[in-house]
Amino acid sequence: MERDYDVIIVGGGGAGMSAAITAADAHARVLLVDADKKLGGSTALSGGVYYAAGTAQQRARGYLNDSADALFEYYMTLNQYRVEASLARRLCDGAADGLAWLTDLGVEFRPEDLYASGVESVPRGHAALGNGAAIAAALEREVSRRAIDVALNTRVSGLVTAADGRVCGIRSGETTVTAGAVVVTTGGFGANPYLLHQHYPDAAATGDWAWYIGSSHCQGDGLSLGAAVGADIVGHNRGLLLTTPNFHRQLEVFVPGWLVYVNREGRRFVKETAEYAVMSGVVQAQTGGSCFALFDDAAKHAARPMAKYADAFAAGVLPLNWVTSELEAQERTGKVIRADTLDALAVRCGIRPGALEATVARYNADCEAGQDSMFFKAAEDLKPVLTPPFYAVEVRAAIICLTSTGLRIDRDAQVLDPRDHPIRGLFAGGETAGGVLGERYVGGGNSIANAIVFGRIAGTSAAAESRRND
């Protein structure tokens, strides 16, 4: 029977557009379908940081010895080997090439914007000029340059299978479209509270603190599409949560260094300026799954916007948590807890009595000595907690940035069933695929690298599969 397309891509974010371009370049006739009125998905909303090793940008900055091998070692160690090694290997091997590909498509990753976005010793976070919007725009431009059909405002509701079980098309409402292979790149399920409860209980457990910052169309459709044809779902309870004091629904990724984080035992437990890639996991691991940001009256009155947010704050486009006016406003709501003594503050917060005073005494001594003897926070961030009244704000990892429970795939983005058998004709990439991202986000850029690398692999594999089915 004549089919409508060689390859259909379901979801046109970073992974889907990469898959469409790659499949078209392999001479497949491609249909790209998206539920939204425009392409881009969460990729277009993102910070546009891309994590890779052995790149031209690193070399330009004098980091000559980083490599895919070193990245893989770091990836596996940080995840304590609880991640699918063959997928991590493929991502590490393909990340630098994916970055070069985006660069060729016109996305600017300037060497001077390279930074350590995880806990790596050699910087691997490549920040796109113009953020994720620039990555999405470059991909969309390439889609439009090719003979790729695009169907927007079209939510795919089912996959079509042949008598032998092979996936051979999609359904959207009453419409069926056939193809030699289908790639599912519908992103994550952050916008679907039911699936969050089912697959990401740590996110759901934060209750009304939880809020999702990605595309509202990312409802986990890829998981149900895949599951309906027998796909395995892996990577339970994985994704990336970001910390928040829950003042307002505004993403403020970086927090000022003068805050002192203590847990319910009354102890410091982390460098307060640690990268968000690891911070949320560390906060979640504390008793009660949260911590308190501590400061004194002098710090409250000196609280100014951090340099990177100052302009947007002054222009009124970015409300900020850690500035005097907001802290005073939140004192009235009770979210900033105040007491005249540290002991009284501990009681109000439910912190173990006694320990807080000792922690603060040590911290203040470190401030006076100009050296953080526990976590080596930068000297300029060390501000003593001396002047009453004292304040504490509960902080939880509750902002849902991305989810990474997803369809089980192999190195070639082929979707697998629970017995490791391929579901012929079905491929997946990006947030829809499970097993690539581990329990620990290895660094800012982990997810976009995953979307681009496995999106391209899925496009190549799907084009090859459709040729086999000719």
169 binds ligand FAD (CB under 6 A): no
Torsion sign, CA atoms 373, 294, 312, 380: negative
3-state secondary structure of 411: coil
215 binds ligand FAD (CB under 6 A): yes
Q: How many residues touch ligand FAD (CB under 6 A)? A: 42
Task: In whole angstroms, give the CA distance from residue 189 to residue 194.
Answer: 9
Chain positions 421 to 460 lying near ligand FAD, rule: CB under 6 A, are: 430-432, 444-448, 451
Report in angstroms how near the CB of residue 256 gets to ligand FAD at its nearest: 20
Report in angstroms how near the CB of residue 277 gets to ligand FAD at its nearest: 10
What is the C-alpha radius of gyration for the chain, rounded to an integer number of angstroms? Answer: 24
47 binds ligand FAD (CB under 6 A): yes
Task: In whole angstroms, give the CA distance from residue 392 to residue 337.
Answer: 5
Torsion sign, CA atoms 59, 65, 71, 74: negative
Burial of residue 316 (number of CB atoms within 10 Å: 0-12, 13-18, 19+): exposed
Which stretch, 47-55, 60-68, 346-354, 407-415, contacts ligand FAD (CB under 6 A)?
A: 47-55
Which stretch, 38-46, 72-80, 277-285, 420-428, contacts ligand FAD (CB under 6 A)?
A: 38-46
State which residue, 221 or 232, has the beta carbon closest to ligand FAD. 221
Kind and range of the H or E run holding 36: none
Report in angstroms how near the CB of residue 303 gets to ligand FAD at its nearest: 24
Report in angstroms how near the CB of residue 2 gets to ligand FAD at its nearest: 24
State which residue, 46 or 244, has the beta carbon closest to ligand FAD. 46
Task: In whole angstroms, give the CA distance from residue 295 to residue 387.
Answer: 9
Q: Taking every pair of C-alpha atoms in the chain, what is the biggest distance, in angstroms?
A: 79
Report in angstroms how near the CB of residue 454 gets to ligand FAD at its nearest: 9
DSSP strand E in 297-382: where?
Answer: 336-339
Task: In whole angstroms, give the CA distance from residue 336 to residue 124.
Answer: 36
Could you give the string, one character per residue 4-23, with x where binding to ligand FAD holds by CB under 6 A and - elsewhere? ------xxxxxxx-------
State which residue, 55 or 186, has the beta carbon closest to ligand FAD. 186
280 binds ligand FAD (CB under 6 A): no
Contact between 449 and 101 under an 8 Å Cβ cutoff? The reply is no
221 binds ligand FAD (CB under 6 A): yes
45 binds ligand FAD (CB under 6 A): yes
State which residue, 89 or 155, has the beta carbon closest to ligand FAD. 155
41 binds ligand FAD (CB under 6 A): yes
Report in angstroms how near the CB of residue 228 gets to ligand FAD at its nearest: 12
Contact between 412 and 399 under an 8 Å Cβ cutoff? The reply is no
401 binds ligand FAD (CB under 6 A): yes
State which residue, 122 or 346, has the beta carbon closest to ligand FAD. 122
C-alpha 328, offset from chain centre: 31
171 binds ligand FAD (CB under 6 A): no
Task: In whole angstroms, give the CA distance from residue 47 to residue 214.
Answer: 11
Task: In whole angstroms, give the CA distance from residue 242 to residue 215.
Answer: 16
Report in angstroms how near the CB of residue 182 gets to ligand FAD at its nearest: 11
Report in angstroms how near the CB of residue 268 gets to ligand FAD at its nearest: 28
Q: In 155-289, which ranges are continuous DSSP H helix?
A: 193-199, 201-204, 221-228, 276-284
Q: What CA–CA distances, in Å, run from 340 to 74, 379, 462?
A: 45, 27, 65
126 binds ligand FAD (CB under 6 A): no
Torsion sign, CA atoms 56, 57, 58, 64: positive
326 binds ligand FAD (CB under 6 A): no
State which residue, 33 or 337, has the beta carbon closest to ligand FAD. 33
Binding interface with ligand FAD (CB under 6 A): 10-16, 33-36, 41-43, 45-49, 132, 155-156, 185-187, 213-215, 217-218, 221, 401-402, 430-432, 444-448, 451
